[in-house]
Amino acid sequence: MSVTVNWKGKRFDVPFREEAADAAREGYDWTRRVTLGDLLEKCSRASRVPRENIKLLHSGGGPFAEELEEASGSWWQSFAKTWEDWVRGPSDEEWMGCFAIMKDPAASLSDYGIRQGSKIMMIGDKTLPPEPSHPSRTRNQQPRQQPTRDTSAPVDTKASEEASLIDRLESHLADTRNTVLPIVEDYTDKASRYIDEAIPPSDPPKSLRDLYAKASELLLQSLLKLDGVTCPPDFENARAKRKEAVRFVQSHLDRIDGLKERVNLAAKPNGSL
């Protein structure tokens, strides 16, 4: 008995054979015995990502889940479409229609509607960037001169907190540029070459389809990370920075989605996604 986990373009099965055997002896389904905490622990061991860095998403809501189906914006529509394609796969398996971050480690898998063969998306990195409490400085930059003021006045914590949020957003964006965009450019080059050289009717090579899936998933994970940085309404600079970062990542997602359409058209004039 197992579930399938998708992480950074890789898939691996998480088995629960012993738990299933114990549950069978006691006369009930194994998904009632296994908790989200058990699944998190096995995902952590398989990926070597610390458990506290992992988020698991399932294509179906539950009473302990943070629903994402109400999220707005084109990036969410892209996320839903991409994951719908993965959940469906080559079969006609019904897609459950919404996505949720599973949050309660004490809840059983059955509480989330997870069953044998369910597909789960994992988001998480082996290390998380530090969250500085002040704006970052270059090595040679001198500390900013503080204006003279009454030392009895309260410290301006709002400016410090907003600067910390901006640093987090910049760190996520830098990680996207350094680790995700090279994969996006690789797909762009190979897809463009295929479009120029394809002789229909033909099927795009599996390696090209897999590269698109990896690039789109990593971009979607970047968007989820940016969306996870909560900026209060009065933090105007941080909110503007998050909007700018989301638009940047979204532009690359739109670009590879457009290339995927052209790849399919090059292979089959009447092809569809």
For 3-25, write each residue's pLDDT tens digit. Answer: 989 887 678 889 998 988 888 88
Q: Does one domain contain both 103 and 32?
A: yes
Q: Is pLDDT at 158 greater than 60 in this prediction?
A: yes
139 within some domain: no
Range of the domain at 245: 158-267
Q: Does one domain contain both 210 and 112?
A: no
Q: Does one domain contain both 181 and 238?
A: yes
For 225-264, write each residue's pLDDT tens digit. Answer: 887 788 898 999 999 999 999 999 999 989 999 999 999 8
CATH number for the domain including 94?
Answer: 3.10.20.90
Tell if the pTM clears 0.75, that is, is over it: no
Q: Does one domain contain both 13 and 117?
A: yes
Please report which confidence band the pLDDT of residue 182 belongs to, taking 50, 70 and 90 as the band edges: very high
pLDDT at 58: 81
Identify the domain boundary among 74, 102, 123.
123
CATH number for the domain including 252?
Answer: 1.20.58.120
Percentage of the chain beyond pLDDT 90 is 33
Please report which confidence band the pLDDT of residue 213 belongs to, taking 50, 70 and 90 as the band edges: confident
Buried b (16+ CB within 10 A) or exposed e, 195-208: beebeeeeebeeeb
For 101-116, write each residue's pLDDT tens digit. Answer: 788 899 999 988 888 8
pLDDT at 38: 94
137 within some domain: no
243 within some domain: yes
Distance (Å, whole) CA 257 – CA 82: 10
208 within some domain: yes
83-92, 114-123, 166-175: which range is least confident on average? 83-92
Identify the domain boundary among 123, 140, 170.
123
143 within some domain: no
How many independent structural domains does the chain possess? 2
Residue 212 buriedness (CB in 10 A; 0-12 / 13-18 / 19+): buried
What is the number of other CB atoms lying within 10 angstroms of the CB of residue 94? 8
133 within some domain: no
Q: Does one domain contain both 186 and 119?
A: no
273 within some domain: no
For 190-212, write each residue's pLDDT tens digit. Answer: 999 999 988 888 888 989 998 99
218 within some domain: yes
Residue 4 CB partners (closer than 8 Å, separation 6+): 11, 12, 13, 14, 117, 118, 119, 120
